[in-house]
Amino acid sequence: MKSRPSFADLIAFNVAVIAQGQRLARHYFEHGDAFRTQVGPHLRHIIEHYEALLNRRAGELVDYDHRARDRSVEQSPIVAARRLDGIVDGLQALRGHQADEAVSVGFSIGVDGAEFHLSPSSLARELNFVASHAIHHYAIIRPLALAAGVELPTEFGKAPETVRHEKLQWAT
């Protein structure tokens, strides 16, 4: 294990996380009805969070709350797969950026969402966030997909530390 992964490692991690969603979406090409009800809403949510980060212009605010909520993504595994492909391209395009690149993040706060808060962040921090957020939604998808007979890798929907911990438990 590297003591300090590089920015390229962080990009590769995010590409691997998105690749899990790509494989899942492609599985549902033949099962569109199940996609719409079980998987699509979660993949749309993941996609729109990544796009909020990747599709902003330089210096523009990242706003995870005010998303398009494009229902075509949750209705069609083909549309979702194409958008996930675009995310991989966007992640690859980050190779010329710096991990500590300043990013401003805006989000609604308060129980009723009536306040808007700005927070300073970095590109690396936000890449960690969107990857963790995606894995969280994969964890919600996992039992739905398994119940529908979809075979998933053992690490799907598990935090990297959980996967590492489980491997160590079995090694002893």
CATH for 107 = 1.20.120
Look up the pTM and report it. Answer: 0.92
User: Which pLDDT value is given to residue 2?
Assistant: 57
Contacts of 3 (CB under 8 A, 6+ apart): none
Grade residue 47 by pLDDT with cuts at 50, 70 and 90.
Answer: very high
Cα–Cα distance for residue pair 127/162, rounded to 1 Å: 19
Assign residue 106 a region (left: φ > 0; alpha: ψ between -120 and 50; beta: otherwise).
beta
In a domain, 2, yes or no: no
Amino acid in position 122: S
Structural domain total, the chain: 1
Cα–Cα distance for residue pair 96/41, rounded to 1 Å: 32
pLDDT in tens, 98-130: 999 999 999 999 999 999 999 999 999 999 999
With beta carbons less than 8 A apart as the criterion, state whether 31 and 150 touch. no
With beta carbons less than 8 A apart as the criterion, state whether 17 and 135 touch. yes
In a domain, 85, yes or no: yes
Domain that holds residue 26: 7-170
pLDDT in tens, 136-167: 999 999 999 898 888 899 999 999 999 998 88
